[in-house]
Amino acid sequence: MTKPCILCCAITGSVPTKANNPAVPTTIAEQVESSLAAIEAGASIIHAHVRNEDETPSSDPEKFARLQEELRKHAPEAILQFSTGGRSGAGHERGGMLSLRPDMASLSVGSNNFPTRVYENSPDLVAWLASEMVKYEITPEIEAFDLSHILQAIRLHSEGTLFGKLYVQFVMGVKNAMPADKEVFDYYVQMMKSRAPNAEWCAAGIGPNQIVVNEWAIAAGGHTRA
């Protein structure tokens, strides 16, 4: 029996606007339509960011609630994953939608550089977001921008700090963080296999690295983000 590959679709992300790509869904109506198309095409997880009227990133729980309500109604089988990423807000704002109890939420467990700034995830904020996910029974997807984030996720999970099954995403190709590097990818996979054999892992390549990293992940028996 072969193991199914979970496809996660990040319908919107936090950066691109319609000026960059007219197909980017930024209203809730567009996001519902785009999510349903992705689910129809085979996606199991919808990774969601919401936007303000002017297309800037938002962490407004009311917007997440509308998206969730629509998707629960039209695609009850889909796994909903809300972003708690740092581009949409600061501090506890980033977890304001967790009380909606989505199936999953993204969680960074360390800090790193982004192309032009520091992606800040202080130990206190990480602990608070993880505890909110325990409270609302939300499985985190750990966003691993570097090797120590993987080790930190394994440690936190073994300590009982992370709800549910350990699910780690390798993020590669962000400038000034980990590049899309096949040797490092292989090392990440080996690390997961040897130290967290019951966990699942997926991988995301940013921008032009997307298809390449998709192929690596699928070939290595992992899950993947499109």
Q: Which residues bind a copy of itself (CB under 8 A)?
A: 110-124, 126, 145-148, 151-152, 176-179, 181, 184, 187
> 132 phi and psi, to 5 degrees?
-65, -40
CB closer to a copy of itself, 92 vs 117: 117
Cα–Cα distance for residue pair 47/11, rounded to 1 Å:
7
Interacting residues toward Zn ion by CB under 5 A: 70, 83
**Nearer CB in complex with a copy of itself: 115/207:** 115
In 3D space, the residue among 58, 68, 148 whose CA is nearest the CA of residue 104 turns out to be: 68
121 vs 214 by CB, closer to a copy of itself: 121
Closest CA to 126 of 159, 80, 171, 165: 159
Tokens of 1: 């029996």
CB-wise, 123 or 207, nearer to a copy of itself? 123
Nearest-approach distance from CB 44 to a copy of itself, in angstroms:
29
Residue 70 binds which one of Zn ion, a copy of itself, none, with CB within 5 to 8 A depending on kind? Answer: Zn ion
Q: Which does 161 bind (CB under 5 to 8 A by kind): a copy of itself, Zn ion, none?
A: none
Cα torsion 50, 222, 141, 210: sign: negative
**Least distance from Zn ion to the Cβ atom of residue 146, Å:** 17
Q: What is the nearest approach in angstroms of a copy of itself to the Cβ of residue 50?
A: 25
Q: Which is nearer to a copy of itself, 135 or 155 (CB)?
A: 155
Residue 211, burial from CB neighbour count under 10 angstroms (0-12, 13-18, 19+): exposed
Joined together, the tokens standing for residue 197 give 């054999």
Cα Rg of the chain (Å, integer): 16
User: Residue 189, Cβ neighbours under 10 Å: how many?
Assistant: 18
Phi/psi at 51 (nearest 5 deg)? -130, 155
Q: How far is the CB of 122 from a copy of itself (least distance, A)?
A: 5
Q: How many CA atoms lie within 13 A of 47 on its CB side?
A: 23
CB of 109 to a copy of itself, least distance (A): 8
**Partner from a copy of itself, Zn ion, none contacting 123, C-beta within 5 to 8 A by type:** a copy of itself
Residue 121 binding result from a copy of itself, Zn ion, none, given CB thresholds of 5 to 8 Å by partner type: a copy of itself
